[in-house]
Structure 1
């Protein structure tokens, strides 16, 4: 079965929105690892009144992680391409400085969510877009000079043991739960999208080719070690763009 793409993937997320929080809540370390990546973005040091983009916010877990990490003095624009997931997120209680926008990663301007953003948090996003390089370019274009980005993503280390661990978790837990909720295609996609995506070193190189600077790959703990990573980087400053 091929990967789900674009409208088909958005529709699958729409259908899964009502049970998504229950499934990720059963995922050991899901929320704590999101919070760790959000802290690595350094949101506490963002300027008061600055702008923060939460790209691929889903049902709001990444938005909550940003708030837990200290993103209280800046406006948070949370964006997702799935209307169902976004509606689920927006139905929760949020501070007044959090807003939700229905948009794809490469169509932020058209949806009224254009930059410049002082920081970007993107969780579980880039392996799900058809044009990863195009999405990275669009995100970079929406960032303020010198702005920071943290990408939290399933990116295997390249070692066979981590690929085997991911496959075991998906086939033993994730995919059976997906069949129970009627979302078998989505959770089969989850497994395939990770094994077919960049390894962590390749994704870091992809970010560098897109124009991000000071790219670093940071590991996560627990069973996700070697499976999920945080990538932190920054946009070029004005003088670096002119060089």
Structure 2
């Protein structure tokens, strides 16, 4: 499917209205500090989109590499710049970290905004094993995946959503279909964009997501040589909700 090949400035609007970049950045910077890198750390962002997270961390003195399958998003992120940042276009299911321009290890690896759900289940452990080989001793891996109840609670076959920021108005018309045999959710959407100058454009986007459960992610981490060191109910130092709903952020370190 064609996926996320619409202009990067529109993704910035969508992400900005759905996520709290300041809370996320503070949380990630805290884990960098726990890795001994209050500044000068190196970050690998898997599914970096338009580089929002990396630019925010660069403002705090950290560098790193962003990986995303979208040529449009990688081009936008590269143009946006940021000290010590570089971007690689690659599908996470086929990622080969040996092709990176540097072999320097990373102090923090992140996979946010349900990007992990876009990795086919059979590719998940191989991806995590590659990450393990590039994580510095004392470093951390932060995963922000969408889990089963999140999918079930929010499921709608059709949905219209509006996003507005910096004079841009976006309307997303989304159709979702579910394959119960593969636990795959296919999302097809049409995006109508009105720019500040009144120009209107239309874009198509589609992507697949696989349903994950927290035990599945823990199992994949263990199989790849990680151990879970923390689980939080979002980007704050608070435990996950006891009833199993709501956000779940998992933090892992090298096992042994």
Q: CA deviation at 1:88?
A: 0.9
The residue aligned with 1:102 is: 89
The residue aligned with 2:168 is: none
TM-score, length-scaled by structure 2: 0.68
Which of residues 204, 218, 242 in structure 1 aligns to 2:218?
A: 204
Q: CA deviation at 1:227?
A: 4.3
The residue aligned with 1:117 is: 106
Q: Is the 8 A contact 1:151 1:231 kept in 2?
A: yes
The residue aligned with 2:139 is: 147
Alignment map for 1:63-82 (pairs within 5 Å): 63-67=54-58, 70=60, 72=61, 74-82=62-70
Q: CA deviation at 1:87?
A: 0.8
Determine whether 1:231 maps to 2:250.
yes
Question: Which structure 1 segments of 5+ residues have no match?
Answer: 1-7
The structure that is strand-richer by fraction is: 2
Alignment map for 1:1-243 (pairs within 5 Å): 8=1, 11-15=2-6, 17-27=8-18, 29-35=19-25, 37-39=27-29, 41-43=31-33, 45-46=36-37, 49-67=40-58, 70=60, 72=61, 74-94=62-82, 96-105=83-92, 106-124=95-113, 125-130=115-120, 131-156=123-148, 158=149, 162-168=150-156, 171-173=159-161, 176=173, 178-181=189-192, 182-183=202-203, 185-186=205-206, 189=207, 193=209, 196-220=210-234, 226-236=245-255, 240=256
Question: Which structure 2 segments of 5+ residues have no match?
Answer: 163-171, 175-188, 193-201
The structure that is helix-richer by fraction is: 1
Q: CA deviation at 1:59?
A: 0.5
Q: Is the 8 A contact 2:108 2:139 kept in 1?
A: yes
**Number of aligned residue pairs:** 212
Q: Is the 8 A contact 2:54 2:63 kept in 1?
A: no
